[in-house]
């Protein structure tokens, strides 16, 4: 995925922080998804309008992780969020 991509949250998706995690609730489907602390940090960054690349760079500075591992994990998370129609590419 293009690292310049920005995202938007689909209407009908609510989220709330619970401890160090974020819980997403799809009001239309009646389902929820919990994000671990790293996934929650990504969610915070993209909902603050960071591009995919900006989010990855920020997380690389905050976590002790190799770039290829983080990029693979973030790409997998984006795919999962998109598959569940919680997050879409903006524009």
Task: Please write the tens of the pLDDT for every residue from 54-78.
Answer: 999 999 999 999 999 999 999 999 9
Predicted pLDDT at 91: 66
**Within a domain: 32:** yes
**Within a domain: 1:** no
**Within a domain: 36:** yes
The answer to whether the CB of 46 falls within 8 A of the CB of 74 is no
Residues ≥6 apart with Cβ < 8 Å to 24: 13, 14, 15, 32, 33, 34, 35, 43, 86
**Within a domain: 16:** yes
Which structural domain range is residue 29 located in?
A: 7-85
The residues pairing with 32 across neighbouring beta strands, listed in sequence order, are 25
- pTM (2 d.p.): 0.92
Q: What CATH number corresponds to the domain at position 42?
A: 1.10.10
Residues of the chain where predicted confidence (pLDDT) is lower than 50: none
**Within a domain: 38:** yes
**Within a domain: 91:** no
Residue 12, φ and ψ in degrees, nearest 5: 95, 0
The answer to whether the CB of 22 falls within 8 A of the CB of 16 is yes
């Amino acid at each position: 995925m293009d690292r310049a991509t920005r995202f938007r949250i689909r209407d009908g998706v609510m989220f709330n922080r619970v401890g160090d995690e974020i819980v997403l609730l799809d009001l239309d489907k009646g389902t929820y998804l919990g994000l671990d602390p790293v996934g929650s940090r990504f969610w915070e960054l993209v909902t603050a309008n960071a591009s995919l690349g900006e989010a990855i760079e920020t997380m690389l500075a905050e976590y002790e992780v190799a770039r290829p591992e983080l990029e693979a994990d973030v790409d997998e998370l984006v795919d999962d969020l998109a598959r569940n129609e919680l997050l879409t590419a903006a524009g």
